[in-house]
Amino acid sequence: MHLDRIKRRKFITLLGGAAAWPLAARAQQRERMSRIGMLVPGAADDPTNQVRVATFMQGLQEAGWVIGRNVQVDTRFGGEGGDDERLRAMAAELLALPADLIVAVTGAAVRILKAINRATPVVFVSAIDPLASGYVASLSRPGGSYTGFASFEYGFGGKWLQLLKQVAPNVTRVAVTRDPGAATGGGQFGAIQAVASLLGAELTPIDVREPGALERGIEEFARGPHDGLIVTGSALLARLQRNRIIALAAEHKLPAVYPNRVYVDAGGLMSYAPDALPTFRLAAGYADRILKGEKPADLPVQAPTKYETVINLKSAKALGLTVPATLLTLADEVIE
């Protein structure tokens, strides 16, 4: 009997411990809350930024994460003015949380983080030429703690000129904005230049880094009905001078092709660019893999796989242009 009581006591003790396992496991899960920081240049109330953040969150959920239960996402915005000091302060704030991983939206955010962070993993989204910018050691094996998604490759810059000639066949002189301070400063212009003679276009570069250079360049360039404009990718232009470029193009009756649909949403004629939203979902996939133990150094930098053409018919009408039916059919979106 004594032996039976001892066995019974041991069984009850084990049973009690087993009953406590789920409670202990749940407590351990609560303690393992992962924390992601998102550094976003631009304003918090910008609809584009809101959709991008929401798409990233959706990507995390699709990967099995539950926001607020096993992952927390802290978002910091740099503000409308593109102030590097504010962006740097926001980056430092995320690093101090501390975040297990930071998602850097655009090259401006990556550049700020590279100056103050070495250890915390970073997944960048829409960074222009991350290799030339020094964010990674190579595209296939990034090395270090940074990896992510490039915004585009240079070769498709020639497509901007092709589209411009399709919508405005009489254009023979084309001004091309160029930001010498951006990684794309010469690459995009070179891609356009490679097809210019084949398409019968004479190019005029307009460097836009210095204050007032944009206005002066377009004023000096614009002469008449055979002029057009291509705006190359530049975070500086997109944040600070987007509306001014659109206004100048309208004032001088310049058919223009832009590197981002936000220009077209704001009244620009046409854009051809990577579709950014799928990239934010892919970035969530990289965040998932890193939080589960993979190293950024081993995750290759990926290029965009989907591009979209967006046309603003109201702007075309204001310029006196009739958009060819074939182009309208090929467009991913037409704004009326």
The percentage of the chain sitting over the pLDDT mark of 70, rounded to a whole number, equals 86
Work out whether strand 307-312 and strand 270-274 pair parallel, antiparallel, or are unpaired. antiparallel
How far from chain centre, in Å, is Cα 210?
24
Residue 18 scores a pLDDT above 90: no
Residues in Cβ contact with 151 at an 8 Å cutoff, skipping those fewer than 6 apart: 106, 107, 126, 127, 128, 233, 274, 276, 304
DSSP string of 108-135, one letter each residue: HHHHHHHHH-SSS-EEEEEES-TTTTTS
**Cα–Cα distance measured from residue 168 to residue 247, given in angstroms and rounded to the nearest whole number:** 19
- What pLDDT, in 10s, does the model give residues 101-155? 999 998 889 999 999 998 999 999 988 888 888 899 999 999 999 999 998 767 7
Residue 13 scores a pLDDT above 50: no
Amino acid, single-letter form, for residue 257: V
Q: How confident is the model at residue 185 (pLDDT cuts 50, 70, 90)?
A: low
Q: How confident is the model at residue 181 (pLDDT cuts 50, 70, 90)?
A: low
For residues 32 and 102, the model is more confident at 102
DSSP string of 83-113, one letter each residue: -HHHHHHHHHHHHTTT-SEEEEESHHHHHHH
Residues in Cβ contact with 15 at an 8 Å cutoff, skipping those fewer than 6 apart: none
- What pLDDT, in 10s, does the model give residues 35-82? 999 999 888 998 889 999 999 999 999 999 999 999 999 999 988 766
What is the architecture, at CATH level 2, of domain 33-151+275-305?
3-Layer(aba) Sandwich (3.40)
Residue 7 scores a pLDDT above 80: no
Specify which residues 72 forms β-bridges with: 35
**Six-digit token string for 169:** 């066949």
Domains of the chain, residue spans: 33-151+275-305, 154-274+308-335
Average pLDDT over residues 303-324: 93
Residue 5 scores a pLDDT above 50: no
**Cα–Cα distance measured from residue 238 to residue 232, given in angstroms and rounded to the nearest whole number:** 10
Average pLDDT over residues 3-7: 44
For residues 311 and 29, the model is more confident at 311
pLDDT for the residue 42: 84
Name the nearest CA neighbour of 233 among 152, 149, 130: 152
**Cα–Cα distance measured from residue 39 to residue 155, given in angstroms and rounded to the nearest whole number:** 29
Q: Which CATH superfamily is domain 154-274+308-335 in?
A: Response regulator (3.40.50.2300)
pTM, rounded to two decimals: 0.78
Q: How confident is the model at residue 14 (pLDDT cuts 50, 70, 90)?
A: very low
**Cα–Cα distance measured from residue 24 to residue 278, given in angstroms and rounded to the nearest whole number:** 38
The percentage of the chain sitting over the pLDDT mark of 90, rounded to a whole number, equals 64
Cβ atoms of residues 161 and 191 within 8 Å = no
Residue 21 scores a pLDDT above 50: no
Q: How confident is the model at residue 23 (pLDDT cuts 50, 70, 90)?
A: very low
Per 3-state DSSP, the chain is made up of helix, strand and coil in percentages (nearest 5) of 45, 20, 35
Identify the weakest region by mean pLDDT among 236-240, 244-248, 321-325, 327-331: 236-240
Strand spans (E) along 173-246: 173-178, 202-207, 227-231
**Rounded alpha-carbon distances, angstroms, from residue 86 to 22, 58, 76, 102, 251:** 45, 27, 10, 17, 33
Q: 257-278 burial, b if ≥16 CB within 10 A, otherwise e?
A: bbbbbbbbbbbbbbbbbbebbe
pLDDT for the residue 132: 81
Averaged pLDDT score across all residues of the chain = 87
**Cα–Cα distance measured from residue 309 to residue 332, given in angstroms and rounded to the nearest whole number:** 5
Identify the weakest region by mean pLDDT among 25-34, 39-48, 255-264, 296-305: 25-34
